[in-house]
Amino acid sequence: MSNTPKPDAATLLAIWKKATLIKLNDERIIKQMMAGKLVMPYYSPRGQEIIPSALSMHLTDDDYICTIYRGIHDMLAKGFPLGELWAELAGRATGTCKGKGGPMHLTHPAKGMMVTTGIVGSSMPIATGLGWAAKLDGKNRVSVANFGDGAANIGAFHESMNMAALWKLPVIFMCQNNLYAEHTSAADSRVVDRISARADAYGMPGVTVDGNDPDEVYGATKIAIERARAGEGPTLIEAVTFRFNGHLLGEAGTYMDKQLYAECQAKDPMPILRARLLTEGIATEDDLVAVEADINGQIDVALAAAMAAPFPDPSELKRDVFAQDLA
Amino acid sequence: MSNTPKPDAATLLAIWKKATLIKLNDERIIKQMMAGKLVMPYYSPRGQEIIPSALSMHLTDDDYICTIYRGIHDMLAKGFPLGELWAELAGRATGTCKGKGGPMHLTHPAKGMMVTTGIVGSSMPIATGLGWAAKLDGKNRVSVANFGDGAANIGAFHESMNMAALWKLPVIFMCQNNLYAEHTSAADSRVVDRISARADAYGMPGVTVDGNDPDEVYGATKIAIERARAGEGPTLIEAVTFRFNGHLLGEAGTYMDKQLYAECQAKDPMPILRARLLTEGIATEDDLVAVEADINGQIDVALAAAMAAPFPDPSELKRDVFAQDLA
Amino acid sequence: MTEPKTMTPKTMTMVEAINKALHDAMEADPKVLVLGEEVGDKEGGGVMGVTAGLSTKFGTDRVKSTPITEQAIIGAAIGASIGGYRPVAEIMLMNFIAVPMDMIVNHAAKLRFMSGGQTSVPIVIRTMTGTGFQTGGQHSDYLEAWFAHTAGIKVVAPSCPDDGYGLMRSAIEDNDPVLFIENLPTYWNPGPVSGQHVPIGKARIAREGTDVTIVAHSLMVHRAAAAAEELAKEGISVEIIDLRTISPWDKEGVLASCAKTGRALVVHEAVRQFGIGAEIASTIGDELWGTMKAPVKRLGGAFSAVPFSKPLEDAFAPQPADIAATVKLLMG
Amino acid sequence: MTEPKTMTPKTMTMVEAINKALHDAMEADPKVLVLGEEVGDKEGGGVMGVTAGLSTKFGTDRVKSTPITEQAIIGAAIGASIGGYRPVAEIMLMNFIAVPMDMIVNHAAKLRFMSGGQTSVPIVIRTMTGTGFQTGGQHSDYLEAWFAHTAGIKVVAPSCPDDGYGLMRSAIEDNDPVLFIENLPTYWNPGPVSGQHVPIGKARIAREGTDVTIVAHSLMVHRAAAAAEELAKEGISVEIIDLRTISPWDKEGVLASCAKTGRALVVHEAVRQFGIGAEIASTIGDELWGTMKAPVKRLGGAFSAVPFSKPLEDAFAPQPADIAATVKLLMG
Ligand SMILES: Cc1ncc(C[n+]2csc(CCOP(=O)(O)OP(=O)(O)O)c2C)c(N)n1
Ligand SMILES: Cc1ncc(C[n+]2csc(CCOP(=O)(O)OP(=O)(O)O)c2C)c(N)n1
Ligand SMILES: [Mg+2]
Ligand SMILES: [Mg+2]
């Protein structure tokens, strides 16, 4: 991957900022949940911050993304407004989905965040359709389908990849391989080592990158997105990473290989990138602390506003079922 | 494919006999339908005779097969009794399925013919399950999933191939690639040329053979079945062939490439194999004519018996819904 | 319920009427797309010709033949609709709708609600079904009940070409997903087509009468009509309500007719048990409590898969004679 | 309906009861298999522990954790069952059942009939669901109506550990496919378990009463019981029929109770429209025509996806207060 495009210093800093927002936001969610102040099923993306942060360097608000229950990092990287996020997590009427969707269905089309799904594999066919719309529009938009390693074994993966390749749609299939699907390891899910190798079956380029390395993710996504914008069709990217807080917050995690966990911890991208920014002189400790403080401040505001906001009225059950309200 | 096992003279003759039964049976069905004496949706396998005929040389009644609406050739090659076949096609109470299943659901477990499905792709997950049963039984049985080229684009293909490879099940995925899926050509269905290449995605061997060549089909299926019986897992075989009577009997066929059709006609396996038997001195013209006459005689008997048999009583709607009859 | 049509109609088959509606809709709105297996002219314009001519006229960008890939077909339609288009997706036969069920029920029907109204899924899913051609257990089912039970998707099923045209135009312009069910055996029956839109959610009085109300849709409207003809000879006056829309169904229209006749029979081809007739019958029983002259009856398909053999297939779904017999039972 | 149990019962949660049933069934019959996502002990013995201990005890050949591959899971179960086994397949949550819908409805439910009885599919499909944990639109639905409308598959839904144990044993021994619906929010409620088989198709009188019959299943039995307690204070005597089996449902048992009380309310958590309550209500209305004292009422989930926000989620499904209010309405 040595001759793939690399992020410059400013971009690297921008990636870190997004990643830090994701990480601090995750910590705050967990804190609130532990304190019993927030109740929801939470699939923490802690550890996967770099993938969407680097990817989103190449996206505009016009580009589409679809993601999964674990996709808060994808959303934040694409610019999801914090206030509407927290209000949604708290089930308030001021949430982006008026509290109807919750963490598993975060949606914000104003910034291209079209669908969050709780059904494994289902982000892919829909993102493929958005790619079709993008192609018809002729505005060089791309559509990103985020999904996990486990999703690579379900039928919807196969059908979407085949259709997107056949129709040369501007779709980036972004497989965030965090080594586990719920409690199931890769070895118990498939024989082949690399998910990216499955791209061959569709005549599509496929590439595996270190999902914790901003250079690799930045480079691979740049190539894929340029390819898509140029009308050359979809790419499958497998970004290898890890999720530190298990599948669902609160689980025991006994299924996880302890040695593997330790190895992954040593590769936690957040301290590594932070250290790198300092080492490479891209920022000073003060700079970084200031960014962190600023982000925490933004979260404070969003959280406070969310908690103060009203819950939706029961009559909301009759709204948004159809375009026209139910009687 | 030069060092793969080849059929000896007796086996070649046996393959031709099965193939001839399939061909003559097909001709008779069409004759009856044209005369208005048989009414049903008919998906003729004319042109695909060699595939199951050669494959079944390696199967016993204990081995399982699942097939599709176009699978009468698969059934006959495995030994489906003609009388129960014709009675079923004629919708009679004496049919193998008592007239309830019809041509799309031919079943005859006594000889290992477990499921015929009308839903594209669905033979594969079920054959995979039969492979699981076979493995648990520990009797070296194999399970064959027959399906078409079009089915290779549906999700069930992906899921079954992955599971069978992961669990090392004794399954033969037999893709009968007849170049069309209904009215859709390969080029409009997928980017990759060879369906067998998709086996790589599952860590499974995949091979493409000329489905009209008894040597190639015999050899590839022998290897795959031996592999399966030895506990080494599944194989994907793509047997390239053609179906001469279109998708559904009676269709116009205007979608078909005329030149391709002519090329395929020149490769019709039935006259070629017949000529070969004579050239190689495996049989005399008299031998072959005698076989043909015998088969036609058998069909006469089956047909006459079917037409004389009673239709099922309407009370049959209450039977076989559950193990216990409905009230 | 809607007023009778007044324009001079043309005679068309159902196939022609739906084909014309698709042509007119694609002409009227460049955002309308068509996709599905064999829908393009290269593949014959649909196995039954319902989409004939569209790809030639509107191009293969807007009219896309697909591989056999029902999950991706509906997924593509959902995605394109969220992206601003109005795709009409074909699922060749209704039994195959089980394959993309997740896409339809968990996604198409729910995205508007789950997003708090930020996204909408204005797609039409066309599908065909019906007993009568001996296509057996996996090619004949009516499955409208599954979708009527699903909030967020509308279900329509025309019985005549005029409604075929008019409901298709309305379905495409509707801002929500619509499942559009076509009956195969009556595809080539001719009928007048006025070219008017037919509102979703409004039933049609297919025959006026005073003694008994029969509520039906799709093929069963014709079987009910045949029964009504016979019953008329015996002096029994049957009113037939063609639901046209199954969800949201025209409760007011149905109740008004039942209030008038005091007797009701609901007929559908789908399996009777837990079919849509149950909702309609229990609603009539509840809302018109104390005013009906007889219990509300239901007829539907047998509790079995659809059989292949002709005599069994004929016995599976309600026939005019079954309908007439049940009406007589209601007349006491 | 069945007689009350007489053995000395142990106290167990629903999770423990079903787990024990699986253990006992696997012990009793070497042909019983278990498969699904995370069902093995390596993966935690099921996300809720329902299959805990099985793979350790019976080995990973008989108890197989699968990839995320619902079509292959059900396909594998069907194939293995035709091959002579009795697989218990888990679909982790009921909404995900939309993914293998084709396998269940077009195959598992139909193969016996379409083969004229030559093959059978003795599988159990376990699944879990229910509102209450704010899991939102794609993780909470009750979809029993789809399967009740499908000939060839049975549907059961226990409300208490005793029935959880007994129905699971019967389901596994049944020679037809059985969909087994577990309620998540009451998984850990303890109750007595007698260790007896519970026959499929027989309802249970969960509470005896004389004024009104409430027909319910799963969680709604508990909500009905809470309502009945309140109503008792006002002198209204409620009889609660716990259906336990939804298809084939215990018509005789339900009708006997309704004939006694003369008033009926059917309650389920699934969306009310076209839900299973409609079949039951319209059957009561028809069969007990002229003898009921009030119209048969139905309560069910709202006509929407299940919402995330707590107050909305609470308003979605019938609460004891809604049930009590409807009973009072029936009492006039
Ligand atoms: C169709 C379907 N099956 C099962 C589930 C339950 N489930 C939720 S997340 C998950 C694991 C998914 O793993 P992966 O795709 O690797 O994504 P990750 O959670 O690791 O990000 C499973 C099995 C589901 N949501 N949808
Ligand atoms: C899930 C599903 N979708 C669509 C169909 C309609 N259909 C029946 S056969 C067929 C073509 C199948 O082609 P292929 O797999 O190549 O098999 P062939 O008929 O050529 O033998 C289609 C689309 C179906 N039966 N099932
Ligand atoms: Mg994962
Ligand atoms: Mg083909």
CATH number at residue C33: 3.40.50.970
Domain shared by D30 and D176, yes or no:
yes
The encoded tokens of residue D314 equal 């609470």
> Are D89 and D95 a contacting pair, CB within 8 Å?
no
The encoded tokens of residue B246 equal 């279109």
DSSP E strand boundaries for chain B: 64-68, 113-117, 143-148, 171-177, 180-181, 184-185, 206-210, 235-240
Domain shared by D242 and D317, yes or no:
yes
Rounded to the nearest integer, the mean pLDDT of chain D is 97
Model confidence at A136, pLDDT cuts 50, 70, 90, reads very high
With left for phi above 0 and alpha for psi between -120 and 50, is residue D38 left, alpha or beta?
Answer: left
Domain shared by C179 and C208, yes or no:
no
List of chain D residues whose C-beta atoms are within 8 Å of the C-beta of residue A103? 308
B192 in contact with ligand 2, CB cutoff 6 A: no
> Are A157 and A193 a contacting pair, CB within 8 Å?
no
For residue B4, what pLDDT is reported?
86
In this model, does residue D154 exceed pLDDT 60?
yes
Domain shared by D208 and D308, yes or no:
yes
> Are C18 and C48 a contacting pair, CB within 8 Å?
no
| Cα C320 to Cα C309: distance, rounded to the nearest angstrom | 20
Those residues with Cβ within 8 angstroms of residue A198's Cβ, 6 or more apart along the chain or in another chain = A152, A157, A161, A192, A206, A236, B201
Phi, psi of D125 (to 5 degrees): -110, 110
> Are D97 and B146 a contacting pair, CB within 8 Å?
no
Is B313 in the D-facing interface, judged by CB distances under 8 Å? no
> Are A197 and B201 a contacting pair, CB within 8 Å?
yes
Rounded to the nearest integer, the mean pLDDT of chain A is 97
What is the enclosing helix (H) or strand (E) of D128? strand D124-129
User: What percent of the residues of chain D are helix, what percent strand, and what percent coil, each to the nearest 5?
Assistant: 40, 20, 40
Is B210 in the D-facing interface, judged by CB distances under 8 Å? no
> Are A160 and A223 a contacting pair, CB within 8 Å?
no
> Are C218 and C142 a contacting pair, CB within 8 Å?
yes
Per-residue pLDDT of chain C (332 residues; tens, 9 = 90+): 554 445 578 999 999 999 999 999 999 999 999 999 999 999 999 999 999 999 999 999 999 999 999 999 999 999 999 999 999 999 999 999 999 999 999 999 999 999 999 999 999 999 999 999 999 999 999 999 999 999 999 999 999 999 999 999 999 999 999 999 999 999 999 999 999 999 999 999 999 999 999 999 999 999 999 999 999 999 999 999 999 999 999 999 999 999 999 999 999 999 999 999 999 999 999 999 999 999 999 999 999 999 999 999 999 999 999 999 999 999 98
B69-104 pLDDT, tens digit per residue, is 999 999 999 999 999 999 999 999 999 999 999 999
Tell me how far the alpha carbon of residue B285 lies from the centroid of ligand 3, in angstroms.
64
Chains with 3+ CB–CB pairs under 8 A to D are A, B, C
The encoded tokens of residue C257 equal 């007719």
In this model, does residue D299 exceed pLDDT 70?
yes
What is the enclosing helix (H) or strand (E) of A25? helix A9-34
In this model, does residue D3 exceed pLDDT 60?
no
Catalytic residue among C37, C38, C139, C182: C139
Rounded to the nearest integer, the mean pLDDT of chain B is 97
Asked, as a colleague might, if the bond just before D248 is cis with ω within 30 of 0, I would say yes
Ligand 1 pocket test: pick from D92, D97, D128, D138 the residue with the most ligand atoms within 8 Å of its Cβ. Answer: D92
Has residue D199 been placed in a domain? no
Interstrand relation of D212-216 and C264-271 (parallel, antiparallel or unpaired): unpaired
- Residue B196: DSSP 8-state: G
Q: Which of A192, A195, A232, A235 best tests the B interface by mutation, with the highest count of B CBs <10 A?
A: A192
Has residue D129 been placed in a domain? yes
B184 in contact with ligand 2, CB cutoff 6 A: no
The pLDDT of A266-272, averaged and rounded, is 98
Q: Where are the alpha helices (DSSP H) in C29-99?
A: 54-58, 70-82
For residue C7, what pLDDT is reported?
59
Q: Which of B65, B100, B320 best tests the D interface by mutation, with the highest count of D CBs <10 A?
A: B320
Q: Residue C35's closest CA among C83, C6, C2, C68? A: C68
| Cα B134 to Cα D79: distance, rounded to the nearest angstrom | 10
In this model, does residue B311 exceed pLDDT 70?
yes
Is B301 in the A-facing interface, judged by CB distances under 8 Å? no
Has residue C87 been placed in a domain? yes
List of chain A residues whose C-beta atoms are within 8 Å of the C-beta of residue C88? none
Phi, psi of B287 (to 5 degrees): -55, -50
- Residue D103: DSSP 8-state: I
Model confidence at D30, pLDDT cuts 50, 70, 90, reads very high
Has residue C262 been placed in a domain? yes
| Cα C161 to Cα D291: distance, rounded to the nearest angstrom | 44
Q: Residue C22's closest CA among C119, C111, C126? A: C126
For residue B252, what pLDDT is reported?
84
Tell me how far the alpha carbon of residue A44 lies from the centroid of ligand 1, in angstroms.
13
Those residues with Cβ within 8 angstroms of residue D189's Cβ, 6 or more apart along the chain or in another chain = D13, D14, D160, D161, D222
Is D95's CB within 8 Å of A119's CB? yes
> Are D48 and A251 a contacting pair, CB within 8 Å?
no
Those residues with Cβ within 8 angstroms of residue D1's Cβ, 6 or more apart along the chain or in another chain = D202, D203, D204, D205, D241, D250, D253, D256
Domain shared by D58 and D143, yes or no:
yes
Of C193, C218, C240, the residue at which a domain comes to its end is C193
Is residue C268 part of the annotated active site? The answer reads no
ipTM, 2 dp: 0.98
B120 in contact with ligand 2, CB cutoff 6 A: yes
Domain shared by D51 and D158, yes or no:
yes
For residue D7, what pLDDT is reported?
59
| Cα D43 to Cα D92: distance, rounded to the nearest angstrom | 13
For residue B2, what pLDDT is reported?
57
Return the biggest CA–CA distance within chain D: 60
In this model, does residue D157 exceed pLDDT 90?
yes
Model confidence at A201, pLDDT cuts 50, 70, 90, reads very high
For residue D139, what pLDDT is reported?
98
Nearest CB among C78, C82, C116 relative to A97 is that of C116
| Cα B309 to Cα A123: distance, rounded to the nearest angstrom | 53
Model confidence at A253, pLDDT cuts 50, 70, 90, reads confident
For residue C9, what pLDDT is reported?
81
Domain shared by D44 and D142, yes or no:
yes
> Are A158 and B158 a contacting pair, CB within 8 Å?
yes
What domain range is C119 assigned to? 10-193
For residue A2, what pLDDT is reported?
57
Of D138, D164, D193, the residue at which a domain comes to its end is D193
List of chain B residues whose C-beta atoms are within 8 Å of the C-beta of residue A204? 191
Separation in Å, CA of B165 to nearest CA in chain A: 7
Those residues with Cβ within 8 angstroms of residue C95's Cβ, 6 or more apart along the chain or in another chain = B118, B119, C129, C138, C139, C140, C141, C143, D106
D68 in contact with ligand 1, CB cutoff 6 A: yes
Has residue C1 been placed in a domain? no
| Cα B270 to Cα B267: distance, rounded to the nearest angstrom | 9
In this model, does residue A90 exceed pLDDT 90?
yes
Q: Residue C160's closest CA among C210, C218, C102, C105? A: C218
> Are C209 and C240 a contacting pair, CB within 8 Å?
yes
Tell me how far the alpha carbon of residue B248 lies from the centroid of ligand 2, in angstroms.
11
Q: Which atom of ligand 2 is nearest to the CA of B48?
A: 21
For residue A252, what pLDDT is reported?
84
Domain shared by C274 and C157, yes or no:
no
In this model, does residue D8 exceed pLDDT 80?
no
D96 in contact with ligand 1, CB cutoff 6 A: yes
Q: The domain that contains D312 carries what CATH number?
A: 3.40.50.920
Residue nearest to atom 21 of ligand 1 (CA): A148
Of D154, D172, D193, the residue at which a domain comes to its end is D193
Q: Which atom of ligand 2 is nearest to the CA of B177?
A: 16
* Torsion sign over Cα B99, B101, B102, B105: negative
> Are D37 and D90 a contacting pair, CB within 8 Å?
yes
Has residue C4 been placed in a domain? no
Nearest CB among C247, C295, C304 relative to D285 is that of C295
Has residue C291 been placed in a domain? yes
For residue C230, what pLDDT is reported?
98
Domain shared by C151 and C27, yes or no:
yes
Asked, as a colleague might, if the bond just before D190 is cis with ω within 30 of 0, I would say no
For residue D51, what pLDDT is reported?
98
Domain shared by C43 and C172, yes or no:
yes
Distances (CA, A) of C193 to B5, C17, C169, C179, C226: 65, 7, 13, 21, 21
A148 in contact with ligand 1, CB cutoff 6 A: yes
Has residue C188 been placed in a domain? yes
For residue D218, what pLDDT is reported?
98
Ligand 4 ion: nearby residues, β-carbon < 5 Å? B 148-149, 178, 181
Domains of chain A: 9-78+106-307 (3.40.50.970)
Q: How many independent structural domains does chain C possess?
A: 2
Size of interface C-D (CB pairs under 8 A): 148
Domain shared by D189 and D227, yes or no:
no
| Cα C179 to Cα C158: distance, rounded to the nearest angstrom | 11
Is A191's CB within 8 Å of B197's CB? no
Nearest CB among A102, A117, A150 relative to D308 is that of A102
Domain shared by D211 and D189, yes or no:
no
A118 in contact with ligand 1, CB cutoff 6 A: yes
Model confidence at A206, pLDDT cuts 50, 70, 90, reads very high
Residue nearest to atom 20 of ligand 2 (CA): B181
The pLDDT of D279-298, averaged and rounded, is 98
List of chain A residues whose C-beta atoms are within 8 Å of the C-beta of residue C70? 159
> Are A53 and A40 a contacting pair, CB within 8 Å?
no
